[in-house]
Structure 1
Amino acid sequence: MRHLLAVAAGLVVLAASACSAPTPPRSAAPSATPTGPATLPAPTGAHPVGTTALYLKDTSRPDPWNLDVKARELKVTLWYPTKQRGGRRAPYMTPKESEIAMRRYGVTGLPYDTLSKTRTNAIKDAEPAGRKLPLVVLSPGFTKPMSTLTSLAEDLASRGYVVAGIDHTYENYATTFPDGRVAECLACDSDTDPGFGTGVVQGRAADVSFVLDQLTSTWDRSGLIDRSRIAMVGQSIGGAGAVAAMVKDSRVRAGIDMDGTTYARIPKRGFSRPFMFIGTPDHAPGARDISWDRDWKLLTGWKRWLVLSGAEHESFTDSPLLSDALGIKPPSGVLSAARSTELTRTYVAAFLDQHLKSQRQPLLDKPSSRYPEVKFCAATCGQS
């Protein structure tokens, strides 16, 4: 039962490692029965959403986790605006991926394909609409498939962004390639090694740079993307990867770290591109994870540090939205799935609208009575 609760609190809760600094899952009371397949909330933007997957191979470097593979293979899921309103909805994940994830967490008593039945909003392989749109790269947490950020990706695409979500091969429980191969998590047994977090974010930065090369030049839809308007958003070690990618690649103009301990060292001279931290109370100033305190001082440009009262490590992912499908009631005192999704979508979109679309967002200037859970931090929370 403890494993089932962990999955409900976070579909793929991180192993207890330095790369995550997560809040341990709280106990929760199971409901009588699961409610059936989860349904992701509808996107809030004006555009219908399409999605497709690309499979890319970087022959310039070997895979960092599989010594038998001489090229780094990546699955990249794209979400984008479309004019098409009808068509087959994209699957959330494959039945095999669902099976592997549930097996890794010891989930029993539910069909192995439960997570694959989650209902999405994006239309599979729909024709993209628009040109020169801003691009947002998404990076999930360690052990997590890219699908765990689908709700955020769909919402951003509905608002006029192209979103590229990277499955970092061998760093999540399962990535399926077109030939049927399933790459499982080879990195999962290494997360206590010295320097593990630093190595992961360096590898993710390399993944991001390669993906940007492909999307802005060789991809047959590259005209869809405005190369001058690129940002990155990540959760947990994906957020740490956003820092690493921005340090490495100047094409990434702005970034967001959602509750991730940081590892890439910002140059002592400072870092002037826009950046936002948004996290749980464990990432408040002076809390047990001090990496944000260290990096905040080195951010010399536009910056925000937001802490969400009642949030847990998985509140920035789809995990809370899947709880009912797993027959789990949320713990008391924790943000509801609907509220955590609303807050994440709202503040991430506001940041991107301001820094990629040049649309000023007063929401980011001070606390809002509409969103009292969001605390603005600097030396302490409560002051901007």
Structure 2
Amino acid sequence: MSILDAVLGFAAVAFAVTAVATAPVARRVAPVALPVLLAGGVAQLLLEGFYWQFAPTYLLLGAATGLVVWQWKWRVGGWTTVARVVVALLLAPAALAWAMVPVPDLPRPTGPYAVGTEVLRLVDPNRPEPATDAPDDKRNVVVQAWYPADPGAHGKRSTYIDGADRLPDRVTVLPSFFMRGYDRIDTHALLDVPVDPGRSRWPVVLFSPGYGAPRAFYTGLIADLASRGFVVLAVDHPYEAAVTELADGTIATARERFLADDPDQSRYMSELLDVRTADLRFVVDQLERPDILGLRLSGHLDTEHIAAIGHSFGGAAAAAAVASDGRIKAAANIDGTLYGTLPQQSLTKPFLLLESDHEETGHGAAYSDGNRALLEHLQAGGFRYEITEANHYSFTDAPRFLADPARLLTAELMGGSRGPRETQRATNDILTAFLREPLGAGRGDVEAASAHYRDIHGGPVR
């Protein structure tokens, strides 16, 4: 939310409350407040365009203005009570709509590199699509590459989410009408610009999102990681992700096929994990193909140094990928429950478990037992850290979909008071230190990176 949006929303609500509750005060402040508020509304419309979220605010401002003008002219009249009721009825939707940010403000990347991005819509000719009934459907895998970009490059800003003009009714738990205007989000990345020429090849990090979540919901975290010197390949898993645009332009939405004899859906999730793992292996297969990568990325990827990371179910996919693919040198699981036989695997590559606050997220037994078993079986060592006052969604952009007052209230109810900015910065500091050695960039001090922040508990797993 821009400063103009915040000031206009707050001032309109405050003025309306004053007009309803204290007419004499409203009449005194009106000569100054009304011109400023009206000018702010006009400036917002001219500079930023119309946001449907602000429609109740515009109506509220108009009704409060009418009420004050009526009181100005006739002091007290029969219609004053009716007008006050109208204003009072508009206060709740105006405040609620204002809580949903029209255009979320993502943090600017903190690394030394500018960020470029490119979207690759791939088709695996050797795998059928398990989520559809059409026998000729082949598995699509959508990859968005985020990479260190030439600092002098010019290009257009990348879009935030696939199919912004064709979204389904819901995107995970969010009604899609809340996302109108998300095409204006500044991702802090330029589309299809040259790779930074400072290095011949850049280490590669695969990123797998949480269950049902589109890759877009991790833009803040991923763009920042790319600015630190990695090519991050964020993978959308079609028909599981809430919305994905396939290679032929089709908008694919989630299709869940739960099993009647699988009450906790553990078998379903295990099968889905196999699909994700195959998606990640397929992406690694493409990294040496210039016809797939195009002119920008071809020849710039250090395919000898690849890691896999992910959040929630994506964290399990990262662990499964490193367990099954020798080309992947390290993995990090951010707050993910493990499925199938994965907890019994003996990983021979470095592994990192990053967790949200256990009390605030309320991890279940499957999460705790599975990750404990995996850490106990590590053969190459690793790390585990718990970030207190961070909840499961603090690693995503989701908290930024709310205005600051609503975000603070949500943190009181659901946890996550550390906030997404510090949570994600701490996460990337720890990830960067962890990935340095397995990705050939020298030794990183993971313990020092975690110690830089308050109340992050954990350390090496021996």
TM-score range, shorter chain: 0.7 to 0.9
CA drift at 1:129: 2.6
TM-align CA RMSD? 3.0
Judged with a 3 Å threshold, the aligned counterparts in structure 2 of structure 1 residues 103 and 213 are, in CA distance, closer, same or farther, namely: closer
Give the alignment of 1:181-196 within 5 angstroms: 181-187=250-256, 193-196=265-268
Change (3 A) 1:37 1:227: same
Give the conservation status (yes or no) of the 8 Å contact 1:60–1:71: yes
Q: How do residues 216-235 of structure 1 correspond to structure 2 at under 5 angstroms?
A: 216-218=288-290, 219=292, 220=294, 221-235=297-311
**Aligned residue among 219, 222, 240 for 1:171:** 240
Give the 3-state SS of the residue equivalent to 2:127 in structure 1: coil
Which of residues 180, 204, 217 is equivalent to 1:148?
217
CA distance in 2, matches of 1:57, 1:177: 9
Is this contact kept in 2: 1:49–1:121, CA < 8 A?
Answer: yes
| CA distance in structure 1 between the partners assigned to 2:380 and 2:400 by the alignment | 35
CA distance in structure 1 between the partners assigned to 2:370 and 2:211 by the alignment: 18
Structure 1 match to 2:131 = 65
1:255/1:274 contact within 8 Å kept: yes
Pick the structure with more helix per residue: 2
Q: Secondary structure at the match of 1:276?
A: strand
CA distance in 2, matches of 1:73, 1:338: 33
Is the CA contact 2:276–2:317 (under 8 Å) kept in the aligned structure 1?
yes
Superposed counterparts of 1:124-273, under 5 Å: 124-130=191-197, 131-177=200-246, 179-187=248-256, 193-218=265-290, 219=292, 220=294, 221-266=297-342, 270-273=346-349
The one-letter amino acid paired with 1:362 is D
Residues 137 and 166, structure 1, Cα contact 8 Å, conserved in 2 = yes
TM-score (norm 2): 0.69
Q: Is the 8 A contact 1:268 1:298 kept in 2?
A: yes
Instruction: Check the 8 A contact 2:206/2:307 in 1, yes or no.
Output: yes
| Unmatched 5+ stretches in structure 1 | 1-28
| Partner amino acid, structure 2, of 1:375 | H
User: Does 1:338 find its partner at 2:421?
Assistant: yes
Matches within 5 A, 1:5-20: none
Query: CA offsets, 1:175-195, max 9 Å, x none?
Result: 013543100101375695350
% identity of equivalent residues: 28
Change in CA separation of 1:375 and 1:65 when aligned onto 2, cut-off 3 Å: same
Q: 5+ residue gaps in structure 2?
A: 1-94
Aligned to 1:24: none
The structure that has the greater radius of gyration is 2
Contact 1:270–1:299 at 8 Å: present in 2 too?
yes
Q: Residue type of the partner of 1:55?
A: R
How far apart are residue 37 of structure 1 and its match? Answer: 1.0
Highest relative contact order (Cα 8 Å, sep 6+), 1 or 2?
A: 1
Instruction: Report the CA distance between 1:378 and its aligned residue.
Output: 7.3
CA displacement, residues 248-298 of structure 1 (integer Å, 9 cap, x when unaligned): 1111100000000112535968322000000123399x9733111111111
Distance in 2 (alpha carbons) for counterparts of 1:224 and 1:106 = 37
Residues in 2 aligned to 1:281 and 1:185: alpha-carbon distance in whole angstroms: 29
Residue 71 of structure 2 is matched in structure 1 by: none
Correspondence 1:239-318 to 2 at 5 A: 239-266=315-342, 270-282=346-358, 288=365, 289=367, 290-318=369-397
Shift of 1:245: 0.8
Question: What's the CA shift for 1:135?
Answer: 0.4
CA distance in 2 between partners of 1:188 and 1:136 (Å)? 30
Aligned-pair CA distance for 1:115: 3.6
Moved more, 45-54 or 93-102: 93-102
Which position in structure 1 is the counterpart of 2:173? 105
Aligned length: 350
Closer/same/farther in 2, CA of residues 176 and 317 from structure 1, 3 Å limit:
same
Other-structure match for 1:16: none
Q: Distance in 1 between matches of 2:110 and 2:454?
A: 21
2:342 & 2:378 partners in 1: Cα distance? 8
